[in-house]
Amino acid sequence: MSQTKADLVREVLGELFSLASGQVPSAEDTAFVEQRIDPVLAGLAKRNVIYIPDAQEIDDEVFDALVAYLAQICGPKFGRPRDLVAKQLTEGELRTIQRIGGGTGRMLRVESALVPRRHGGIL
């Protein structure tokens, strides 16, 4: 299952404001966080932290760390100081998730073009 951009916005605002169940953030706050998502995802990909190709399909294992990261990025706009240590820790968590990945589960192979061919004993 995956999460959407709207889920991400709602959770980031909940993290920043400690919204109670049923409380709705203002349209301006929602728009601000929503506008930050694509540039933040592009920056994370550019720095080889994690690549999330579509903000409408965020994998569950990435979601919580991404919420925490975006809360650090958006926090100053809402009067919450940015905690650089927490931001770096979250970025490290995202790197770990990217590095581990899902994989295919298949045995790794060497490309045949990289295997030297011996003809007559001399390469």
Report how far apart, in Å, the C-alpha atoms of 14 and of each of 2, 23, 44, 123 are.
19, 9, 22, 64
- Give the per-residue pLDDT at 119: 66
**Torsion angle of alpha carbons 19, 24, 28, 33, nearest 10°?**
50
Q: Residue-wise pLDDT tens for the chain (123 aa)?
A: 789 999 999 999 988 886 666 777 889 999 999 999 999 999 999 999 999 999 999 999 999 999 999 999 999 998 899 999 999 999 999 999 888 755 556 777 778 777 777 765 554
Q: How far apart are CA 113 and CA 110, in angstroms?
A: 8
Q: Determine the number of helices (DSSP H) and then strands (DSSP E) in the chain.
A: 4, 2
- Give the per-residue pLDDT at 101: 58
